[in-house]
Amino acid sequence: MRTFLAVAAAAALSAQNYDVLLKNGHVIDAKNNINAIRDVAVKDGKIAAVAALIDASQVKKVVDVKGLHVMPGLIDLHVHVFYGDGPSYSDGQLSVIPDSHTFRSGVTTVVDAGTSGWRNFDVFKRRIIDRNNTRVLVLLNIVGAGMGGAVEQNMSDMDPAPVANLIKKHPDIIVGVKTAHFAGPEWIAVDNAIKAGELANVPIMVDFGAFRLERPHEELITKKLRPGDMYTHTYLAWVPMLDDAGKVRPYLFEGKKRGVKFDAGHGGGSFVFRHAAPAIKQGFLPDSISTDLHTSSMVGGMKDMTNVMSKFLNMGMTLEQVVRASTWHPAQQIKRLDLGHLSVGAPADIAVLRVENGAFGFVDVYGAKMNGKQRLTAELTMKDGRFYWDLNGLLRESWDKLGKYNAIGDPAWDGTVSAGVRSRR
């Protein structure tokens, strides 16, 4: 009976006319507990099949990814992409344009962490979210004016009601609430963010800002944050993480037991090896790995998503743990269970990464270096069934095997598969 079912299943797989087939790759899919060599088929922008062997005879585009790792498109849980002509982050030039930075590092979904508030979200949506191929989701700032400078200290602009109302209006885009950089002694920013989260039934993310005796970090982690809420900048130098003996303080493990989620949020000033390396060794791992992408972090120690993932890989996390924290975990944290996995029917968001072996150096936000033996690089990135990144031409034919180019383009290139890349020539 088992033999018959196996033959029937194989016949069904071989009979399909798929758009794309990624063959021979090492698939890591945390949701489905896959960590093995598998073929992945895509049809009509969705995952169509994942199996040990899929017949390639009727597939439009077959890509051999032997020796590479195939995983869900990466989810960067903390970025700033509300780019504009202002001097700061919200509608400003400290943010970046998503498509210019995502696909080249395997990222298909980003979560803008509080750059916009309820007063300027519509501008963000119209100018950035609706115009980029990257899937841009949003944590709405508790401050109506959004993120950047003095506006974040305006306690009169921290009204939970309009924040919650806007989230209810755009539940497909706005996935939570963010508070950041508040420097006062009051708990008002955190408390009002939580109120907005309760009204809209979404999690919050906290960038604690100034660390003050009046509002201890330990109280935030063990009392204020609800299960499912996120603390970002976990390995920030100001976090009281290690005791005098170099041990991770118990309140942080207590927070994990309560269900608080710890996000890496590397950024330009929020990650130090002197915290992260001993914490990882002692089992205090990030629930989600993120970049805190902006114009200064991307040219500093952070660089990009694969570089941040590589740091955690070299500090002792397994590749499976690193992938889980960059795909399925963040999807769960923002309650977008349609993302972060390769289940049949899911959006065909796929990252194909190479694990390079050699001598590499990694730098934290203060310039301290860590040597490593492995580095992740993105070879291919697909979103919704279209390739947007091809580092080494895996999708292409050798130039000496092609005829002359015509007015339309490369005759060997399948436009239905490659529209994302082709539109950027």
Residue 363 burial (CB count, 10 A) = 17
Q: Compute, in degrees rounded to 10, the torsion defined by CA atoms 44, 138, 268, 97.
A: 60
Task: Tell me yes or no: is domain 2-71+380-419 CATH 2.30.40.
Answer: yes
Mean predicted confidence (pLDDT) in 347-357: 98
| pLDDT tens, residue by residue, 117-129 | 999 999 999 999 9
Residue 410 has pLDDT above 90, yes or no: no
Q: Which 3 state secondary structure label does DSSP give 141?
A: strand
Predicted pLDDT at 401: 80
Predicted pLDDT at 400: 82
Predicted pLDDT at 14: 54
Sorting pLDDT into bands at 50, 70 and 90, what band is 304? very high
Sorting pLDDT into bands at 50, 70 and 90, what band is 168? very high
Mean predicted confidence (pLDDT) in 345-356: 98
- Least trusted range by pLDDT, from 187-201, 269-283, 291-305, 390-404: 390-404
Mean predicted confidence (pLDDT) in 68-85: 98
Q: Which 3 state secondary structure label does DSSP give 233?
A: coil
What is the distance between the alpha carbons of residues 280 and 257, in angstroms, rounded to a whole number?
17
User: What burial class does residue 404 get, using C-beta atoms within 10 Å of its C-beta: 0-12 exposed, 13-18 middle, 19+ buried?
Assistant: exposed
Question: For the whole model, what pTM was predicted?
Answer: 0.93
Residue 311 has pLDDT above 90, yes or no: yes
Mean predicted confidence (pLDDT) in 375-385: 98
- Mean pLDDT over each residue of the chain, to the nearest integer: 93
Give me the CATH topology for the region 73-353. TIM Barrel (3.20.20)
Indicate the DSSP class of residue 73: P
User: At CA 233, angle to CA 226 and CA 240, rounded to 5?
Assistant: 85
b/e string for 142-174 if b means 16 or more Cβ within 10 A?
Answer: bbbbbbbeebbeeeebbebeebbebbeebeebb
Question: What percent of the chain lies above the pLDDT cut of 90?
Answer: 89
Residue 412 has pLDDT above 50, yes or no: no
What is the distance between the alpha carbons of residues 217 and 239, in angstroms, rounded to a whole number?
7
Q: Are 122 and 82 in contact (CB under 8 A)?
A: no
Q: Which 3 state secondary structure label does DSSP give 215?
A: strand
| pLDDT tens, residue by residue, 177-234 | 999 999 999 999 999 999 999 999 999 999 998 999 999 999 999 999 999 999 999 9
- Entry field: residues in the chain: 425
Q: Are 78 and 34 in contact (CB under 8 A)?
A: no
| pLDDT tens, residue by residue, 256-270 | 999 999 999 999 999
What is the distance between the alpha carbons of residues 147 and 247, in angstroms, rounded to a whole number?
34
Mean predicted confidence (pLDDT) in 373-393: 98
Q: Which 3 state secondary structure label does DSSP give 53?
A: coil
Q: Give the domain ranges of the chain.
A: 2-71+380-419, 73-353
Q: Own/partner pairs for 117-120, CB < 8 Å, 24+ apart?
A: 117/90, 117/141, 117/142, 117/143, 117/144, 117/145, 117/146, 117/147, 117/157, 117/163, 118/144, 118/162, 118/163, 118/165, 118/166, 119/144, 119/145, 119/146, 120/82, 120/90, 120/91, 120/145, 120/146
Predicted pLDDT at 398: 87
Q: Give Cβ neighbours of residue 220 (< 8 Å, ≥ 6 apart).
A: 190, 206, 208, 231
Q: Which two tokens stand for residue 181?
A: 């950089």
Mean predicted confidence (pLDDT) in 318-323: 98
Residue 94 has pLDDT above 90, yes or no: yes
Predicted pLDDT at 152: 96
Residue 15 has pLDDT above 70, yes or no: no
Q: Are 59 and 354 in contact (CB under 8 A)?
A: no
Helices (H), 315-384: 319-324, 328-333
Predicted pLDDT at 10: 52
Mean predicted confidence (pLDDT) in 63-76: 99
